[in-house]
C-alpha cells in the first residue's frame, strides 16, 4: 500500500513534465501535441534564433557569476557559524536563510526599491547580485549539513601541527566538505538559471534572461519554441542533479 502510494505521488509529479517533451516536437504552429508526426523544427529554431541564443548566453553568464559569489559567501558563512556555535551564529544562519523564507515577490519588491537608490536597475550587476544573495541560502544549507558530519579534531590537529587558519581551511576543512559545497553550487546555479520574478522587477530591456524570454513568449505568442526550451531546461536540471548524486556517492565510498 505504501509503495503504491509512493509511486502514485511520483507519477503525479513527473507525468505532467513528460508532456513538455511531447509538445516540444509538435508539427503544429502553436502549443499542442503532434498531429501528423514529430518535428524538431523548434529545437532548430532555438539553436538558430538570435534572441533565444542571446537569452541563453545572458542566463548562463549571470548564473555562473552569481553561483561563484554565492558559493564563496555561503561556504564561508556556514563555516564561520559552525566554528562559533552560539546564539549569534544561529541568528546569522537564520538571517542568511531569509531570502528563501520570505515570499519571492515580497523580496523582489524590496530589491526593486533598494536597487533604484543604488542605480542598479536594468544592469547585469544588479541581477547578478540579486541572484547571488538569493542563492546563498542553498549553499549555507548544504555546507552546514556537510559540516555536521565533519570531525572538529581534524581542524585542531591541523592547527596544532603549525598550519594557520587559511591553510587549515584550504587543505583540511574544504576538501572534507566538498560534496556539500558542490551541492550548494548546483542548487544555486539552478536557482539563478530558472529565476524569473526578481528579473521581472529589476531588469528592463537591457537584460533579457531565458526565463524572461519564455515569459514574454507566453504573454505575446504561444511559440512552441518555449516547449523546446523547457525540455532543455529539464534535461539540464536532471544532469546537474545526477552530477550531485554521483559526487556524493563517490565521496561516501
Determine the distance from the C-alpha atom of residue 205 to the mean position of all C-alpha atoms in its chain, rounded to a whole number: 23
pLDDT at 242: 83
Cell numbers 565533519 correspond to what residue?
A: 150
pLDDT at 237: 83
What DSSP character marks residue 31?
S
Question: Cα–Cα distance between 173 and 168 in angstroms, integer?
Answer: 6
Cell numbers for 32: 499542442
Nearest to 226 by CA among 62, 238, 36, 234: 234
Compute mean pLDDT per 10 residues along the chain, 253 residues long, and list them: 81 80 80 79 83 89 95 91 80 84 86 88 90 93 87 82 83 86 91 89 84 79 79 84 76 60
Alpha helices in the chain (DSSP H): 2-24, 41-48, 50-84, 87-96, 98-101, 104-118, 124-148, 152-160, 165-168, 174-176, 178-194, 197-202, 210-220, 225-252
pLDDT at 65: 96
Nearest to 144 by CA among 71, 207, 92, 93: 93
pLDDT at 130: 92
pLDDT at 252: 60
pLDDT at 135: 93
pLDDT at 94: 83
pLDDT at 140: 92
User: Residue 209, by phi and psi: left (phi above 0), alpha (psi -120 to 50) or beta?
Assistant: beta
pTM: 0.84
Handedness of CA 25, 30, 36, 42 (dihedral sign): negative
pLDDT at 220: 65
Question: Cα–Cα distance between 169 and 83 in angstroms, integer?
Answer: 12
Cell numbers for 197: 520574478
What homologous superfamily does CATH list for 55-221?
MetI-like (1.10.3720.10)
CB atoms < 10 A from the CB of 147, how many? 19
- 185 CB-near residues (< 8 Å, 6+ apart): 67, 70, 71, 139
Amino acid at each position: 500500500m505504501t509503495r503504491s502510494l509512493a509511486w502514485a505521488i511520483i507519477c503525479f509529479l513527473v507525468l505532467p513534465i513528460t508532456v513538455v517533451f511531447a509538445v516540444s516536437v509538435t508539427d503544429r504552429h502553436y502549443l499542442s501535441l503532434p498531429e501528423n508526426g514529430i518535428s524538431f523544427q523548434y529545437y532548430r529554431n532555438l539553436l538558430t534564433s538570435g534572441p533565444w541564443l542571446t537569452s541563453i548566453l545572458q542566463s548562463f553568464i549571470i548564473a555562473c557569476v552569481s553561483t561563484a559569489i554565492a558559493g564563496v559567501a555561503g561556504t564561508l558563512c556556514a563555516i564561520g557559524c559552525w566554528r562559533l556555535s552560539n546564539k549569534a551564529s544561529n541568528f546569522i544562519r537564520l538571517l542568511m536563510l531569509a531570502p528563501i523564507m520570505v515570499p519571492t515577490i515580497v523580496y523582489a519588491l524590496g530589491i526593486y526599491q533598494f536597487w533604484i537608490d543604488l542605480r542598479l536597475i536594468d544592469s547585469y550587476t544588479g541581477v547578478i547580485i540579486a541572484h547571488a544573495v538569493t542563492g546563498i541560502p542553498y549553499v549555507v544549507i548544504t555546507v552546514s549539513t556537510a559540516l555536521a558530519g565533519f570531525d572538529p579534531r581534524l581542524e585542531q590537529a591541523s592547527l596544532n601541527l603549525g598550519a594557520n587558519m587559511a591553510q587549515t581551511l584550504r587543505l583540511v576543512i574544504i576538501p572534507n566538505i566538498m560534496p556539500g559545497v558542490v551541492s550548494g553550487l548546483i542548487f544555486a546555479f539552478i536557482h539563478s538559471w530558472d529565476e524569473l520574478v526578481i528579473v521581472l522587477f529589476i531588469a528592463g530591456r537591457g537584460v533579457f534572461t531565458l526565463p524572461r524570454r519564455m515569459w514574454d513568449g507566453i504573454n505575446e505568442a504561444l511559440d512552441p519554441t518555449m516547449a523546446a526550451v523547457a525540455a532543455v531546461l529539464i534535461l539540464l536540471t536532471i544532469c546537474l542533479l545526477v552530477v550531485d548524486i554521483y559526487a556524493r556517492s563517490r565521496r561516501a565510498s
